[in-house]
Structure 1
Amino acid sequence: MTEYNAVVYDLDGTLVDLAVDWDAVAQEGAELLEAEGVTVDGTDLWGMLDLADDIGVRPSIERTISKHERRGAERSTRLPTATELPRSVPVAVCSLNCEAACRLALKHHDIATHVETVIGRDTVTTRKPDPEPLLAAVRQLDRTPEKTLFVGDSQRDKLTADRAGTAYRYV
């Protein structure tokens, strides 16, 4: 750890496993968009968020997703990576989940006090793999990307780290 002066973690699949039925969330999102006359055949949940942006109904679909995520945070399972906390360097969370769900999960597993900042899907205007959420976390920790380690569980997380200029560790 001496080579890094900050660590940023993804949340779901890295520190905790949110108990979310993502198929049900996607179905509800599809129903909301179809009620607006938008065809969503073959569109994943993140694509649905983009479609919702395009037609100005993002708050509706965001409320639906966030409701499921918050409920899932309260029933989440702590993953082995969470045992790395606390760390001797500042820690943040950068997640595709809404900020409220991240904070609930961290609190539920008694690790919130070890995390200085949380950047969720709704904290900044872009989402992973765009580098801005990760860079926002690094800035809030008052660190630089070159000396930051991002820990995640997906190719999207790896791509985010590459784009942001941070090191990456897959779990």
Structure 2
Amino acid sequence: MMDGTQSDARRPLDGFDAAVWDLDGTLVRLPVDWDRVTRDVAAVFESAGHDVPGTDLWDLLQRADGTDLAQEVETTIADHERAEAIHAERLPYADAVGGFDAEGVCSLNCEDACRTALDVHGLTPHVDAVVGRDTVAARKPDPAPLLETIRRLGVDADDVVFVGDSPRDEEAARRADVAFRYVDDASLRR
């Protein structure tokens, strides 16, 4: 297997049979007020007697893992994402969806929000697998969600490119040994 972020750097996009896309910031932009979500999640901790000064949302989500607060924290975040998914702004690279033999979405957003945003923009018919933050036990940059998406696509990881917008996406691809492209990479323009 190749080092997905190094050896495949010059492989043309049309040289891949399958693509896995990040969602928010890549195909669409969810208009979630993340500061409000962070305050709401902090309130979950505070109501349980935990002090959370200066902590960001993803730190809070990690802190909740394995505690009795995990489900309430996940529900709080997902409620915001689902509410805003119907208002998702389509980004230019969504036009590249549908150009591969198999395509999936691997996102840090909840699976329901991903599916809603894909539906809103008519992308669902082109997407064969959706793995959200709540689909598997691990979250990006852990490679498990990306590998699960690839497993659901039924393709070989050597034939997949993961397209995302963040260092977390790039790290997930590196750890999964899958080729990676940033969404603003000129090679994505067809």
Normalised-by-shorter TM-score class: over 0.9
Per-residue deviation, residues 104-143 of structure 1 (Å, max 9, x unmatched): 0000011111100100000000000000000000111111
Q: How many residues align?
A: 171
Q: Which moved more, 1:142-151 or 1:76-85?
A: 142-151
Q: Secondary structure at the match of 2:65?
A: helix
How far apart are the structure 2 equivalents of 1:39 and 1:130?
A: 27
Are 2:172 and 1:160 equivalent residues in the alignment? yes
* 1:26 aligned to which of 38, 44, 68: 38
Q: Secondary structure at the match of 2:32?
A: coil
Shift of 1:54: 3.8
Aligned to 1:91: 103
Q: Which has the higher contact order (CA 8 A, sep 6+)?
A: 2
Unaligned runs of 5+ in 2: 1-12, 184-190
Aligned residues with identical type, % of pairs: 49
Aligned to 1:120: 132
Shift of 1:84: 0.6
Aligned to 2:147: 135
* 2:91 aligned to which of 47, 72, 79: 79
Shift of 1:2: 4.0
Aligned to 1:35: 47
Deviation beyond 2 Å, 4+ runs, structure 1? none
How far apart are the structure 2 equivalents of 1:55 and 1:160?
A: 25
TM-score by length of 2: 0.87
TM-score by length of 1: 0.96
